[in-house]
Amino acid sequence: MCFKLKLVYLQKNMINKEKFTKLSAKEQIEFINELKAINKKKREKEKSRKIKPCPFCKSKNISLNGHDLSDLQRFKCKQCKKTFSHRTGTPLDGIKKEKKFKQYYKIIEAGEDTTLAKICEKLNISMSAAFQWRHKINNDLLKKAQKQKDNK
């Protein structure tokens, strides 16, 4: 397990460097081994998940291609050589503030009559982010409406 991953795990579990260094060498090794076991289980779970075909060429010849900085699994298509995640092609593609985006999506989906300025203030996001997100959400809602119309 790489050092960066260990630090991320330590931070997520509220264990800082000071506490870790205060552990005995044996306890540190045990802790690291536990991290490795957790990481191995996580990787096995990801591998066992049904991997969707490439969103670009629809090939099913896909390999795992590491994780991004937010620990999101990346994939690589062996046919077209493009990389993607499970978010590619969704409104969440490229979004860093996922929770705020989902809140914004609910506001738009509910049809609340509010201005971008009020949404920016409420969610504490920039006007440009609100504008870009609104377009992503509207496009997604249009696609959903079109699918419902085609299914009827």
pLDDT at residue 102 tops 70: yes
Average of per-residue pLDDT across 114-131? 90
The CA distance from 126 to 66, in Å, is: 31
> What's the distance, CA 76 to chain centroid?
16
Residues 6+ apart with CB under 8 A from 73: 46, 64, 67, 85, 86
pLDDT at residue 39 tops 80: no
Across the chain, what does the average pLDDT equal? 82
Beta bridge partners of 76: 63, 83
